[in-house]
Chains A and B, each alone.
Chain A
C-alpha cells in the first residue's frame, strides 16, 4: 500500500489500541545513479527507498518504531511496538506534537526537468570524455558519476497535521586521478542542479587543477603560524562542531556553549546564520521534523550567542519556544536538533586580500579525519591537512601530510579576517554547511 493508505491503517490500529496521540514521519526517494570508467558505463543503479517512523505518546512518554514494510499487518505491528517501547522509557521529557493550524513560509524548490536514465548516461559519458582529455597527467582510471532523483518527506499526526514536501535533484561528480610517473594524487568536485546551467568544463578543470596541485607537495615545518582555512575546510569545521549549537546537547551537558546564550562567544566580526531557505538549496524545508514552521535566524550575531537551536521538547524544557530545528538523521532516527543550512556570514575582502594579511603561514583546503580527530564536546581538533604555503601574502608551493591543531570555540574569538567568497552548500537535500575563507592566528601546524 502507499503512504496515504498506510496512514489510515495506522490511524485505525491506534484507535483500536486506545492510543490518542501519534505521528507518522515518512521519507522516500527514487534515484538513478550512473558511473563511468574508461569511456564506458561501468555501473548503473536504480533504487527505490522509503520508510516510515511512528511516534506515539503514552503516559507522557514518546515511543518510536519504524519500518520499510507498508502493509495493513505491519501497521498494527508498528503501533504495538511503539506502544511497548513507550512503556519502557524513563526520561522525564514531555511528549509534544504540533497541531494542523501552523503557517509556513513559502519557498519553492528550484524546478528544472530531471534527466532520465538515457540523458544521464549521455551526460556522464560526455563528462568522462572531458575529464580524460582535460590534461596529459589525468590517468585513465579517473571516474565520473551522475545521478538524479526525487525525495519526499511527509508528516501526519493525530492533531490534524498533514504536510509534505518534495524535490528533485540532479548531481554530477568528477573524480580525477593524476600522476606524473613519480606519484599519484586525486581530488573530486561535484555540482547539483539543472544540467543545462552547469558549467561542466569548469567542474572538470577545478578538480583536475586541485588534484595536480597536490603532486610534489612537501611537508611543512612544525610551528605556530597564521592559517587560512579555504571555504571547503572551514565548512567542514563548522559542520563538525555544529552539535554545540544543539540545545539537546547543551541540556545533556555535551556542549561547550551551554548556559552561554546572550554572552559573547566569538569575535565581534563573527555572525553565524541558520537558513532553511538558502538560495539554491535543493529542497527548502518549510517545516521541521516535528512539523513546526522553520525560519532564517542568526545563531551568533556580532560575536554574541543569540540562541541555541531548539525543537519542541528541548524548548519546553528550557521554558521557551522552538526555533523550528527538529531534525532526523534518517526516517527511523529519534527527533533531535540540527541546523538546516548553517554558514559563517561573509566579510568584505577578497581571498587574495586575506592572504596578503596572513603574510606567512599555511592555506588549508583539505581536512581529513574529522570524525575522529575532532572532539565536538570540548572543541579540540588535531586534523590531517593539505593545502599551500603562504609566503609574502601569496599561495606558493603545495604542502601535505601535516596536521593543524587548535580549539574551535577558542578559534571563533581569533578569526582576524573573513573573506567575501561565500558559495551555496554543495549537494542535494535540505541541509548543509558553507563558509567563506577565514584567517586565524595562533594554530599549531605539525609537519616535519
Chain B
C-alpha cells in the first residue's frame, strides 16, 4: 500500500522532536452492503474508506494526526503536525523497518468483490423469503448482506512493517410479526471472518430467515415479563454478551490503566465464581472477531482472562500498557484510521463447564430462561450494566413455560460474576458489533448455558 522507504521517511519526520515511539496506520477498505426489504433489493451501499493516521508517543502522552491524503506529502504533513504538537526536542530513536510475515490464519476462498451483486441478492432473497413464508403473522422482513474488505498497513519505530487483508461477511435478517395488534421483531445475524464461501455449507441463508421469523412470531404472542429479582438461565451463543458487558469491558486497559475499572489492581485475586473461566482468543480461524495481528502490529493470541474465578490477565494495548507497566496483549483495535486505537475484545467467552443443561433448568423453582439476548452496555467505573432479553421464558418448577417479552437484566459486574454458579458444557458463540472509544469493531461473544443465581429482571 505504502512502500517501506516512504514509511521510514515519514516515521523519521514524526520522531524529529523527540518522540519515543511513532507509528503509521494506513487503510484502504471497501465496504459493500445490500439491503433487501421484503424480497426486493432496496439499497446497495458501496463505500471506499481510505486514509492514514500518524501517532507518536512521548512518555504518557499520545498524539495522533489523520488524513485522507495517503501520498508521501500527505503523510509527511501528518508526521510534522504530530511532531510539532509534541513540542521541541531532538530525535532519540533509530530504527529500520523489516517486513513481518505473520501469515494468514483466515484464508479467504471467495473474495466478496468477485461475486456479483445479483448473486448476493439471490442469497439474501432466500433468507427473506424463508422469513416471510414462515408464518402468516410475519408482516415484513428486512435483510442485509454486508461484506468488508479491510486492507491495513502498520509501520512503527519498533521496526514493524506489516500488512493484512481482513475480509468479513455477515448476513442479517430482521423479521416483524403481528398478532392481535402486537408488533414484535426477531433477528438473526451470523457473520465470519470469511468470504462468500461462508454460504457453502456453514451458514444456510434460509435457516437465518426462519430463525428471525421464529423469534418474532414467538414474541408477538408473548405477554410482558414480570419484574423482580430471580434466578436466570442464559442460553449459549449470543448469551455471552453478559460476560462481555458485565466483565469484559472492565478488563480493558482503556479503563484499567486509568484506575477507572471495578477490576483495577485485582490481578491474581478471586473476582468470580469458581465455575467461571473466561478467555479472549483472537486466533480462532474464520471467527468474526479474529485478527492475524492487532492494530499496533502485535501478533494475535489466545489468553485466559479469568481462570476458575481468579483474575489472570487484562486486555492491553501498547499505549495504555505504558501507564500500567505491562506488555501489549495484542488487544489494540480501531474501527478505522480515523479512530485512536485502544484495548478491545476479540472473541471473548466463558469456557465450557461441567453442569448438565437439564439440571440447570431443573434447578430453578421460579425464574427466567433467556434464550436469546439482545445488546447491552456497561459503565466500567461502577460495573453497572444492562442488557435486553430478546426472547425469554418463565421457568416454573424446573420447567420452561410461557414466553415473555420486554425483559432486561441489570446489575453490577463484580457481583454478577460471583453469582454465575452453574456452567453448562455446550459453548457456542454469537456475533456482535462492539462500540467504544475506538469505534465499532466486530467481536464474538460466547458461553455455554449458565445460571445466574439472582439478578434484577426489569419488566412490568
Contact = CB atoms under 8 A, between A and B. Distances in A.
Contacts of B139: 253
B interface majority secondary structure:
strand
Contact of B338 (A47, A70, A74, A381): A47
Given A46-B81, A91-B37, A372-B387, A401 B410 contact: yes
Contacts of A82: 46
Best-surrounded residue of A69, A368, A369 (most CB of chain B within 10 A): A369
7 contacts: A65-B47, A88-B117, A332-B31, A378-B184, A403-B456, A403-B459, A405-B406
A448 B60 CA distance: 44
Interface string A403-421: 1111000000000000000
Interface string B403-444: 001111011100000000000000000000000000000000
Interface in B15-50: 31, 34-35, 37, 40-50
Interface residues of B, number: 74
Given A184-B381, A252-B37, A401-B456, A44 B387 contact: no
A64 B45 contact: yes
Interface in B299-317: none
A152 to B, nearest CB: 14
Nearest to A77: B48
Interface in B361-396: 374-377, 379, 381-382, 384-388
Interface string B448-460: 0000000011111
Contact of A222 (B35, B67, B82, B228): B228
B284 interface: no
Contacts, number: 236
A371 B382 contact: no
Given A68-B51, A368-B386, A91 B460 contact: no
B46 A64 contact: yes
Contact of A46 (B48, B85, B176, B459): B85
Contact of B68 (A48, A254, A377): A48
Contact of B227 (A42, A139, A384, A403): A403
Nearest to A121: B85
Given A91-B42, A377-B184, A382-B408, 17 more contacts: A40-B60, A44-B64, A45-B63, A66-B45, A69-B50, A85-B44, A177-B260, A253-B140, A369-B388, A372-B388, A373-B374, A378-B184, A382-B388, A383-B408, A405-B224, A446-B458, A448-B456
Nearest to A445: B227
Contact of A44 (B62, B258, B385): B62
Interface string B120-158: 010000000000000000011010000000000000000
Given A49-B68, A66-B47, A368-B386, A43 B376 contact: no
Contacts of A117: 85
Nearest to B381: A186
Contacts of B64: 43-47
Contact of B229 (A68, A186, A448): A448
Contacts of B384: 368, 384, 400-401
Best-surrounded residue of B47, B118, B183 (most CB of chain A within 10 A): B47
Contact of A378 (B40, B183, B227): B183
